Amino acid sequence: MDFSAAKLAEMSGKYPSLIDRSHYNLLVRVRDYRKEYGRGTGGSADLRETELDRKIVDAIAHLETTHNTNEWGVPTLDEVIQQPKRGR
């Protein structure tokens, strides 16, 4: 989870136009999970725990400045239908 969150945070900074609501929500959930339950013990030696927390918080803040995250809210039925099906 930590490695994936680090990659997503990195991509959020480099390619914010490719990031959508689900990616943003995932970063928020990882941040909240790490605050509530602590940090993983099996993380990569290359990635320090406080550094990962900072990357996640910075990515969330960056996305909030580049996207209007207040308008993302809950997807409408039309948005759900229009999304391409994954894995097919």
Q: Quick check: 86 pLDDT over 60? A: no
- pTM, to two decimals: 0.67
The answer to whether the CB of 3 falls within 8 A of the CB of 47 is yes
The answer to whether the CB of 14 falls within 8 A of the CB of 58 is no
- How far apart (Å, rounded) are the C-alpha atoms in residues 34 and 65? 23
Per-residue pLDDT tens digits for 5-39: 899 999 998 998 888 888 888 999 999 998 888 76
CA angle 34, 35, 37 (to 5 degrees): 65
Per-residue pLDDT tens digits for 33-61: 988 887 655 555 545 888 889 999 999 88
- How far apart (Å, rounded) are the C-alpha atoms in residues 6 and 31? 11
- How far apart (Å, rounded) are the C-alpha atoms in residues 82 and 36? 35
